Structure 1
Amino acid sequence: MDSPAVIAHRGYAGVAPENTVAAAANAATNDETTMLEIDVQPAACGTPVVIHDERLEGDRTRDGRPLTDATGLVRETSLEEIRAARVLGTEETVPTLAELLEAIPETVGVNVELKNPGTADLRFGESLPVEDRDDRREVWTPFVERVIETCDAFDGELLFSSFCEGALAALREIAPRYAAATLVWDDLEAGLEIARRYDCEAIHPPRNAISGAPLADTEYAGFGAGEPEIDIIEEARAEGRTVNVWTAENWHQFEALAATGVDGIVADYPGLGTYASDQ
């Protein structure tokens, strides 16, 4: 069995200030890293910036620390203020997407998660009824256009993912040349429906939604404990899609997920795959 690709979650958020240039650059130097995973959303001016939470201080703390030393909604904050915000008590700042891509080699792929187009109404994790799809695509289109304009300067592998169907709809209309992945939250059937609707190259389920893995007995990402009703690997493979699962936080989880035959594993720490493969 081939080893799964290792995808550095926010630049290995377990060992570095997440979604920063330093985290991404350091993760890219690790021989195990196949791809970086980063989150993008717009500043008040529409410029794509690399940050996960809706608010600069964070929607939750990281071991008691706010995400940055600034406050306020990212989408309502000026680019100057965002770029000056220090991340997790370090000297690292919130970068623009362009700054981060310029800092990494094109030998490492980048999974760009389309997090928020600048609105509180996301329709997160939903398979949309047909009458809502055009509207949600239009909501995302201006931001996705800015993201694609920036990413076109990067010659490495790019994969765009989102929990929001509108983001994938916009991507397919604007830049169908790029690979797409639907992120799954609490509903495997909805994830498969969206992947089929936009012919996504990949699907990204959470770690406890993989049939046959012991992690299915844990609650995570909106899923309760228990064996999934759908074998997402079997369904995806039958349709020619890769399966990248999130997020491994230790080598036990990585080993369990790798044993199921997934194609890629989003990991918080470097070295998880190396250690798991040695066991």
Structure 2
Amino acid sequence: MQNRPSMVNRRRFVAGTGAALVGGTAASSTTGATTGPHRTRSDEDNRASRTDRATVIAHRGYADTYPENTVAAFELATQGGTDDAANRRRADWIELDVLPTEDGELAVFHDTELSGLTDTTGVIYETPAETVFSAEVLESGQTVPTLSEALDAIPTETGVNIDIKEGSSDVQFGRVDDPAAEREQWEWLEKVVDVATDYENELLFTTFWEGALATVTEIAPEIPVGYLLSESIEKGLAVTDEYDTAAINPPMDMLYGTPFFDDDAYESIDLVAEAHDRDLPVNVWTVNTWYEADQLLEAGVDGLILDHAEILRWSALERY
């Protein structure tokens, strides 16, 4: 395991306290640290409050900062410092999306349909690779990359979260009664595994589709996987347990006890506690404001999936 914040390792604790690093500062027993407006802290304390608070995951390569899921986005998202207070915060991990073209090539793109984000139309898995990879993303001059081109742009010390999208209209979103019945529709994932494992980056494969999860664990049981929770906490935890996933990746409105929890949509279950009882990290998507980041850190989450990194600076800077 390389020395980097991980989406798949157990959450970090403050030494001697058993409390997770939260908010803009870390709980500390250091002599001289006080809680008043004129508190004093050692340089070591200050560094601890700014770094290693949570794994920083660039959603599609910081999708609100750079043209999403492009080579340029991945190159730029992996530049900068590891201190949350830095002018430019480098991603610890890159999250990217993958699905197949009509002729079986691997495209890094989020949507099923090319229109909207590119100057081209067509469902990706019904469109030839030549057309897909010549599509310009958001008038940026960047085109849709192959999975190999995307991974070539990401330094080996940066983890890669490969988010698997559907490669067919014949697969079912979420849980399915018989994942094995969809196996043929997910054959293209064998190529994803072959390409991704040629690189030295730490990997996590995630998906909303149980059929994809079942296929990856069959093809390569050694690759860490995660289920993207959506409709139900109980169902998400059931999938987590069944497939022995390496992480829990929920939307932030699923986090009970935070201002964002949607009690009309979800069960009143403390998902962070459930995850940590299973010795699993919680990586939350998609975080877009400093306030959201602060509240989620206070709730004990382990990873923040971000569209732009600058939102971390406010709580990381000393404000007293």
Cα distance, 1:187–1:30 mapped onto 2, change above 3 Å: farther
The secondary structure found in structure 2 opposite 1:275 is helix
Distance 1:257 1:6 in 2: 13
Gaps of 5+ in 2: 1-19, 22-52, 82-88
SS, match of residue 145 in structure 2: coil
Secondary structure class of the residue paired with 1:195: helix
Within 1, Cα distance between the matches of 2:55 and 2:202?
A: 13
Following TM superposition, the consecutive aligned residue runs of length 4 or more in structure 1 with deviations greater than 4 angstroms are none
Distance 2:264 2:184 in 1: 33
Cα-to-partner distance string for 1:120-164 (whole Å, 9 max, x where unaligned):
1332122x33xx121134421x11101011101110111000001
CA distance in 1, matches of 2:132, 2:182: 26
Q: Any idea what SS the aligned residue of 1:111 has?
A: strand
In the TM superposition, residue 194 of structure 1 has moved relative to its aligned partner by 0.8
- The answer to whether the 8 A contact 2:71-2:153 is kept is yes
Q: Give aligned pairs, total.
A: 260
In structure 1, C-alpha distance between the alignment counterparts of 2:313 and 2:64, rounded to whole Å = 16
Structure 1 unpaired stretches of 5+: 58-65, 218-222
Q: 1:114: which partner in 2?
A: 164
Question: Which is richer in helix?
Answer: 1
Mark the structure with the bigger radius of gyration. 2
Q: Which amino acid aligns with 2:298?
A: A
Q: CA deviation at 1:206?
A: 0.2
- Normalised by the length of structure 2, the TM-score is 0.78
The yes-or-no answer on 1:251 pairing with 2:290 is: yes
Q: Pick the aligned partner of 2:280 from 241, 246, 269.
A: 241
| 2:192 counterpart of 1:134 | no
Residue 213 of structure 1: which of 258, 265, 284 is its match?
A: 258
* Amino acid of the structure 2 residue aligned with 1:238: D
Note the 1:84-103 alignment, pairs <5 A.
84-103=134-153
Q: 2:315 aligns with which of 256, 260, 276?
A: 276
- Helix, strand or coil: the match of 1:119? coil
Equivalent residue for 2:299, pick from 250, 253, 260? 260
User: Larger RCO: Structure 1 or Structure 2 (Cα < 8 Å, ≥ 6 residues apart)?
Assistant: 2
Q: Which residue of 1 aligns with 2:113?
A: 55
The answer to whether 1:42 aligns with 2:92 is no
TM-score, with length taken from structure 1: 0.89
Checking the alignment, whether the CA contact within 8 Å between 2:56 and 2:303 is kept in structure 1 is yes
Q: CA deviation at 1:10?
A: 0.3
Q: What letter is aligned with 1:261?
A: G
Work out the percentage of aligned pairs sharing the same amino acid. Answer: 40
1:255 maps to a residue whose letter is D
Aligned residue in 1 for 2:241:
196
1:29 corresponds, among 72, 75, 79, to 79
